[in-house]
Structure 1
Amino acid sequence: MKDFPTDGVELTTLLVVGDLSRSRAFYSNVLGAEVYREYGGTSCVLRFQGAWLLLVTAGGPTEDKPSVTFAPPQDQNVVSHQLTMRVPDCQGAHEVLRERGAEFLTPPHDRGGEVRCFFRNPDGHLLEISEIRR
């Protein structure tokens, strides 16, 4: 079976943000992402834990997506997208991220086979750190 759609495919997660500078600072200073490239003040590409993260500002339809509008979350309590980071030590990661400015919804919760907690980026996108216990 051939790889989809060709060899060398990499996945990029796109997040629409309200303030590019604020979001770039959050992802690089709090999470340690590496800024790879920026485009005209409207987008920033970051390398984060072996994956690509693309931050873009809001925008209307274009020729190649004529009915699509990009907008940051309108309600932080309604989630349609989340980034989850598996960590070896949830409590330790929580402490480091909190010291760097992450604001958590609650402290880590032990759910038996998993310890997890949630925080938001500056635009309200939900992020999770999760430790799997075996």
Structure 2
Amino acid sequence: MTQGIQVVGLYVRDQDEALAFYAEKLGFQVHTDVRNGEYRWLTVQHPDQPAFQLGLFKPGPPVHDAATAQALEAVVAKGAMPPLVLSVDDCRAAHGRLQAAGVEFTQEPVERYGTVDAGFRDPSGNGWKMIQQRA
């Protein structure tokens, strides 16, 4: 039996805003964008990883009640969720490109543990670490 992770979801406060960030600034591509009433299933994928999708999901009906949705949005906005990791060939160069595209960094590139990493957050507050691959 073959198994694998196909989609990992992130909670976002606004799916259109998240889509613009991931597509225009990070270079992800839309995989699926379908609606069922109020619910929208929106996934993107990195062009170099076509088998893996990142879900950009808004907390709320029909999955969550209003109070739960509001609590989830508050937790994400505070940066309380574990960071995701974006692998890059050259962290300083990627930092420069993304910063020029308007990505706000929470940590400038730093050398440690034998590599270079930097941190940023998406418009909803989800944290990212961008880590340079080891040579």
Between Structure 1 and Structure 2, which shows a larger proportion of helix residues?
Answer: 2
Tell me how far 1:7 sits from its aligned partner. 1.8
Give the unaligned 5+ runs of structure 1.
1-5
What is the CA–CA distance in structure 1 between the aligned matches of 2:112 and 2:42, rounded to whole Å? 36
When Rg is computed on C-alpha atoms for both structures, the one with the higher figure is: 1
* Long gaps (5+) in structure 2: none
Matches of 2:11 and 2:79, distance apart in 1: 15
- Does residue 13 of the first structure (1) align with residue 8 of the second (2)? yes
Structure 2 residue corresponding to 1:30, chosen from 25, 29, 32:
25
Residues 57-90 of structure 1: CA distance to partner in whole angstroms, max 9, x if unpaired? 112564xx99xx4533526455332210121110
The aligned residue for residue 101 of structure 1 is 102
Distance 1:36 1:117 in 2: 27
CA contact (8 A) 2:115 2:134 kept: yes
Residue in structure 1 matching 2:45, options 47, 54, 66: 47
RMSD: 2.4
CA contact (8 A) 2:79 2:126 kept: no
How many residues are paired up?
Answer: 125
Q: Is the 8 A contact 1:112 1:133 kept in 2?
A: no
Alignment identity in percent? 26
Q: State the distance in 1 between where 2:6 and 2:95 align.
A: 26
Task: Go from structure 1 to structure 2 and tell me whether the alpha carbon gap of 1:96 and 1:116 turns closer, same or farther (over 3 Å shift).
Answer: same
Cα gap change, 1:93 to 1:12, in 2 (>3 Å)? same
**Moved beyond 3 Å, runs of 4+:** 75-78
Q: What CA distance in whole angstroms lies between the structure 1 residues aligned with 2:113 and 2:5?
A: 33
How does the TM-score come out when normalised to structure 1?
A: 0.79
Map of 1:85 onto structure 2: 86
* Aligned AA (2:40): T
Q: Could you tell me the TM-score, scaled by structure 2's length?
A: 0.79
SS of equivalent to 2:45: strand
Q: Give the residue type in structure 2 aligned to 1:129.
A: M
